[in-house]
Amino acid sequence: MKRIIRTAEAPAALGPYSQAVEKKGTLYVSGQIGIDPSTGKLVEGGIQEQTKQIFKNIDAILKAAGYSPQDVVKSTCFLDDISDFAAMNEIYGSYYTEDQPARSAFAVKDLPAGALVEIETIAVK
């Protein structure tokens, strides 16, 4: 049986999907963009500000599900512009400081709400 994860500490889904779904000890966190859940709007600034907000959102979802960043085994990063990779990576590296998860990163054509970056996460207990 799957468990749907919802928290007001992270942005509500922008469409017909869940913030996260857990099944058999694995948590699948939907792609997060830099939306501040208190305003419902994309944070101002550039790629680093959006990436910081994304990790606040991921943290909130992990916590709501009973997981922590140490449980994350895979991240996928989608960038609006691959030239922002180094700036995003600086914030990413400050979030995962040891035993980093596996990761993929891609440039994509467009992201929801005009976001510069989106990160999805898988965590395992």
Instruction: Measure the CA angle with vertex 110, ends 92 and 76; round to 5°.
Output: 35
Q: Pick the closest to residue 13 from 1, 24, 5, 22 (CA basis).
A: 5
Tokens, residue 75: 């991240």
Give the integer Cα–Cα distance in Å for 119 and 123.
13
Superfamily of domain 3-124, CATH level 4: RutC-like (3.30.1330.40)
Q: Write the DSSP string, 29-67.
A: EEEE-SEETTTTEEPSSSHHHHHHHHHHHHHHHHHHHT-
Residue 28 and residue 36 in contact, taking contact as beta carbons nearer than 8 Å: no
From first to last of its 125 residues, the chain has per-residue pLDDT tens of 999 999 999 999 889 999 999 999 999 999 999 999 999 999 999 999 999 999 999 999 999 999 999 999 999 999 999 999 999 999 999 999 999 999 999 999 999 999 999 999 999 99
Tokens, residue 100: 């980093």
What is the value of pTM for the model shown?
0.96
Q: What is the pLDDT of residue 99?
A: 93
